[in-house]
Amino acid sequence: MCSGGFAKCLGISLLPLAIICVLCNILLFFPDGKVIESEHITKQVWYFGGILGSGVLMIFPALVFLGLKNNDCCGCCGNESCGRRFAMLSSILFAAVGVLGAGYSVIVSAVAINQGPLCFYDSETNGTIWGYPFSEGNYLSDKNLWNKCQEPKNVVHWNLALFAVLLAMGLIQIALCAVQVVNGLLGALCGDCCGCCGGDDGAM
């Protein structure tokens, strides 16, 4: 497969992942599907890791990758191959933007999973308060601790599931963008098809 066609496949894969991340981040604002006061939402939700990092910032590289297959830039002094090489090289910059965006989402999600959700719980020192009852991810290995959270209902399950999806999607996005970095380098150095199509590169 030519590098432009392979980049298009990566772009097609990135778009649904970005949409899933945006939806997950939106759902995190409604623990257990219910509307709650904004000050009772886990703070990492407000960092918009899924909406901005793995969502909006991922749309740009995805669209660029999709357009590489049909790139018809006349290139350098009318040399089409040169134009396509430059397009492949520029795609590396957009892939880097994707890596940064997905990396941001991964970090936010990892921190949120480790810290646990904001919830209404019975503190040993201050009575029932809104806060973060867990520390250093201790609740991950002991489901009995999940009962500490009284409100919102099922907030531990909700946050853990959605942030885990964001974490997984972000890692996949990073991998796909990293693959495009390699693909872009090959396309820039060897031409769109690395000699398999012969026509354009043979004229150089």
Structural domain boundaries in the chain: 3-71+82-189
- What local confidence, expressed as pLDDT, does residue 130 receive? 96
CA nearest to 28, candidates 152, 133, 171: 152
- What local confidence, expressed as pLDDT, does residue 4 receive? 79
- What local confidence, expressed as pLDDT, does residue 75 receive? 47
Q: Which two tokens stand for residue 155?
A: 């907030």
pLDDT, averaged in runs of 10, over the chain (204 residues): 83 96 98 95 97 96 86 49 73 95 98 97 91 92 94 96 98 97 86 49 40
- What local confidence, expressed as pLDDT, does residue 69 receive? 67
Q: Which two tokens stand for residue 4?
A: 């432009």
Residue corresponding to tokens 């019975």: 122
- DSSP one-letter code for 131: E
Please give the C-alpha separations between residue 139 and each of 130, 135, 142, 152, in angstroms, as whole numbers: 17, 8, 5, 17
- What local confidence, expressed as pLDDT, does residue 134 receive? 95
- What local confidence, expressed as pLDDT, does residue 2 receive? 77
Model pTM score: 0.86
Backbone angles phi and psi of 149, in degrees to 5: -75, 115
Whether the CB-CB separation of 87 and 28 falls below 8 Å is answered with: no
CA distance 199 to 105: 42
> Residue 123: left (phi > 0), alpha (psi -120 to 50), or beta?
beta
